[in-house]
């Protein structure tokens, strides 16, 4: 699937659908509206944008009108993370990790996980 640009606000709708979907319009309002201080009209505008972007679909079913994601969370995360690496670090992951390390944003647990991942990647190459 081609990269679909989803705003921060739209991503809140997507997160609700990934976690609890399919949802009715009122279900989406309930899931994200109050937590963000959004009126129902705001939530419905975000739903409309996501429909236009073909990130979600809406369909009348027995339980009423239901929305469900067309874009998987894994595909979204992949696209967004690759976009971040491309935009800020020239497409290279090592400078991203170095940035976090230099700014002390890596915890001991993060470092342990990275070492484990590197060891696994090295084992896979052999």
- pLDDT, one tens digit per residue, over 71-93 is 999 999 998 888 888 998 998 88
Query: Which of 88, 93, 89 has its CA nearest to residue 118?
Result: 93
Q: What is the DSSP string of the chain?
A: -------HHHHHHHHHHHHH-SB-HHHHIIIIIHHHT--HHHHHHHHHHHHHTTSEEEEEETTEEEEEESS-HHHHHHHHHHHHHHHHHTT-HHHHHHHHHHTT---HHHHHHHHHHHHHHHHHH-
| pLDDT of 1 over the 50 cut | no
Q: Which of 22, 42, 69 is the last residue of a domain?
A: 69
| pTM: predicted TM-score of the whole model, two decimal places | 0.77
Mean pLDDT within 37-48: 96
Q: Which of 24, 41, 69 is the last residue of a domain?
A: 69
Q: State both tokens at 11.
A: 């991503």
Which domain does 17 fall in, by range?
A: 8-69
Does 103 fall in a domain? yes
Same domain, yes or no: 96 and 47: no
Does 119 fall in a domain? yes
Bridge-partner residues for 61, per DSSP?
64
Same domain, yes or no: 13 and 65: yes
């Amino acid at each position: 699937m081609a990269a679909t640009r989803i705003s921060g606000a739209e991503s809140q709708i997507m997160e609700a659908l990934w976690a609890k979907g399919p949802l009715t319009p009122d279900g989406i309002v309930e899931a994200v509206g109050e937590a963000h201080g959004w009126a129902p009209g705001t939530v419905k505008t975000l739903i409309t944008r996501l429909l236009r972007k073909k990130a979600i679909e809406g369909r009348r079913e027995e339980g009423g009108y239901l929305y469900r994601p067309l874009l998987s969370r894994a595909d979204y995360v992949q696209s967004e993370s690759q976009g971040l690496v491309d935009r800020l670090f020239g497409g290279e992951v090592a400078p991203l990790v170095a940035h976090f390390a230099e700014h002390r944003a890596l915890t001991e647990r993060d470092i342990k996980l990275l070492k484990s991942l590197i060891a696994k990647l090295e084992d896979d190459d052999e």
